[in-house]
Structure 1
Amino acid sequence: MKKRIVMALGGNALGSGLAGQMKAVQSTAQTIAALVAEGHQLVITHGNGPQVGMIHQAFEAAATTYAHSPVLPMSVCVALSQGYIGYDLQNALREALLDAGITKNVVSLITQVRVEAQDPAFNHPDKPIGSFLPDEEAAKLRKTGVLLMEDAGRGWRRVVASPKPQEIIESQSVKTLLEAGQIVITVGGGGIPVIATDNRLHGANAVVDKDWASAVLAKEIDADMLIILTAVEKVAINYNQPDERWLDTLSPQQARRYIAEHQFAPGSMLPKVEAAVSFAESKPGRQALITLLSKAGEGIAGRTGTLIQQ
């Protein structure tokens, strides 16, 4: 059965650094092209954690030189990351489609996501961005007032606020392009966070979780399936413990029980499961799938991954 799918690419689908990204998107594009060949309507979303941190740090460093470049607000850094990730991804996907004998337009859409100014996340920044930092460098940055947190035992990273997405401003444009037979790359990095004041949108100093934003988009364009791609084939409970168990299916009720038991790591699997549940229970028949990029096709066919549905 052909589906309208929102596919949220994880960091492993994009690589890190310019050279790594260009290499990673080539293999990513092959997988996406195979799904297009099966007749599915696809909207591609993606993260930007390493990239947006790199952009922000570059402009911070430039501000200390004779050039006196401005330090860009986070909303502008997200916009820049959308542009250059989308550029690489849409060209790689165009090439993969043509190699497969498929002629389809691929477009990257600069996307804004409305957040609430009163969101409590602004008082508790906890979203890691940028590269991992060793203890010594992290200590120096903390002395300058930079907010950092230890990220899953891999090192220190900068943190910014991550308010919940309320609305995808350009969702109707996404739907129109999709219905015209085009493949849309959108909600890059979770989208540019904006706050609405009357008719004006202005950028917020934050980043939006791309899985939550993808779930909101999937609802607004009436998708059949949300696929959240990550570094494991399935969701597990008792992860990395002797009684570890990989899950084929999850109901929203089961997921909430496991969340209450703290089975899923914050900043890692937890937001993916929460976002998947939010979409799956938003309308009868909607499904969310969490799996590896390389297993996406098998997951859609019901042969692997963790399927979340009512």
Structure 2
Amino acid sequence: MLLVVALGGNALLERGERPDAGVQQRHVRTAACALAPLASEHTLVLCHGNGPQVGVLALESENDPELTHPFPLDALGAQTQGMIGYWLAQELGNAGVAPPVAIVTQTVVDREDPAFGAPTKFVGAGYPEQEARRLAAEHGWTVGRDTAGWRRVVASPQPLRVVELPTIRRLVESGTTVICGGGGGVPVVAGEHGRLDGAQAVVDKDMTAALLAIQLDADRLVVLTDVDAVKQDFGTPRERTLATVDVAQLRAMDFPAGSMAPKVEACTWFVASTGRPAAIGALRDAPAVFTGAAGTTVTMSGSLE
């Protein structure tokens, strides 16, 4: 089977940890070991998050006195794709997966997407409110609060097309494990005569994974994160775990923007477009999430046939 797997940024850096290379590489090694059983039986296309890494590079760039202007977000996204792709490819190989290929991926977005006027995507480290507001004033950021604290918030437009899709498809057809769409892919906008230019945004990697899964005719979309499953009425006395749920039920529920909401949206998009199941669950349970023994399975009917 062909599986498109979206790997959350927590696979590389947990909340509150220092973004040191050694810390991230240790997490990548753990992720690779969790994914290796799936890769041994199926062809994988792996998309990964990069929010913490982009945030670190952006702050370094803003504070570099040698630069006339800081590096734009699209360039930083490309840098993190190379770094994280290298780590994942190396550790998957060390875990026994046939040599994977990492591709720096561009994702076309609409320059008129309303998301550019309403930033929702958190990137970088969390700060106390006063520090976050100081940085926002100093660097021209928009900031907001999530579970990690006060953080920078950027636009997250809808992915329309993955530029490198033909190459990814050929690699998949050869049985190669492909690492692509890192951080949702570098956001680019199309101009005259096919010209592409970088956009100052971060595309949600779950949505890009869903787009790839649809266009590659994948058998399953698997979204792996740091939570066990989708929770209805999360954080309330009515909270309950959803083991199997259908698209209509999910669309009638509300989920936190920037965290569970894009994961649910990506899965419902894939299932509604293909009629095939999607799953959301913890990285450590990856094989069980795929089979439906753990996590949340999303189907058209609400049951696995």
TM-score, normalization by structure 2: 0.93
- Aligned residue number for residue 261 of structure 2: 270
Q: Could you tell me whether the CA contact under 8 Å between 2:189 and 2:199 is conserved in 1? A: yes
Aligned equivalents of 2:234, 2:119: Cα separation in 1? 26
1:33 aligned to which of 36, 51, 58 = 36
Aligned to 1:176: 170
Secondary structure class of the residue paired with 1:5: strand
| Contact 2:61/2:67 (8 A) holds in 1 | no
How many angstroms apart in 2 are the aligned matches of 1:275 and 1:167? Answer: 15
Distance in 1 between residues matched to 2:186 and 2:39, nearest whole Å: 27
Question: In structure 2, what is the equivalent of residue 6 of structure 1?
Answer: 4
The residue that corresponds to 2:229 in the other structure is: 234
Equivalent residue runs for 1:4-153 within 5 Å: 4-15=2-13, 16-37=19-40, 39-62=41-64, 65=65, 67-68=66-67, 70-97=69-96, 104-144=98-138, 145-152=140-147
Q: Does 1:245 align with 2:240?
A: yes
Match of 1:299 among 269, 286, 289: 289
Runs of 4+ in 1 over 6 A off after TM superposition: none
RMSD over equivalenced CA pairs, Å: 1.2
Count of aligned positions? 293
Q: Tell me, yes or no, if the aligned pair for 2:89 and 2:99 is still in contact at 8 Å.
A: no
1:142 CA displacement: 3.1
Q: Distance in 2 between matches of 1:282 and 1:163?
A: 20
Q: Matches of 2:9 and 2:284 in 1, distance apart?
A: 14
Q: Work out whether residues 221 and 277 of structure 2, in 8 Å CA contact, stay in contact via their aligned partners in 1.
A: yes
SS at 2:63's partner residue? helix
Q: Is the 8 A contact 2:133 2:143 kept in 1?
A: no
Deviation at 1:302, TM superposition (A): 2.2
Distance in 2, Cα, partners of 1:91 & 1:61: 31
Q: Say which is worse superposed, 221-230 or 138-147, in terms of deviation.
A: 138-147
In structure 2, which of residues 156, 162, 182 is the aligned counterpart of residue 162 of structure 1?
156
- CA positional deviation for 1:283: 1.7
Hey, what does 2:202 align to over in structure 1? Answer: 207
Shift of 1:136: 2.4
For residue 148 of structure 1, give the secondary structure of its aligned residue in structure 2: strand
Structure 2 Cα separation of the partners of residues 292 and 20 of structure 1: 19
- How much has 1:69 moved relative to structure 2? 5.5
The Cα offsets for residues 126-146 of structure 1, whole Å up to 9 and x where unpaired, read as 211110011221121233332
Question: Aligned partner of 1:232: which letter?
Answer: V
Inter-partner Cα distance in structure 2 for 1:281 and 1:52: 32
> Percent identity at matched positions?
42
- How far is the alpha carbon of 1:105 from its aligned partner? 2.0
Give the conservation status (yes or no) of the 8 Å contact 1:17–1:51: no
What are the ranges of 5 or more consecutive residues in structure 1 without an aligned counterpart? none
Secondary structure at the aligned position of 1:282 is classed as helix
1:147 partner letter: T
Alpha-carbon offset, residue 181 of structure 1: 1.9
Distance of 2:168 and 2:12 partners within structure 1: 22
Q: Distance in 2 between matches of 1:46 and 1:124?
A: 24
Give the corresponding residue for 1:219: 214
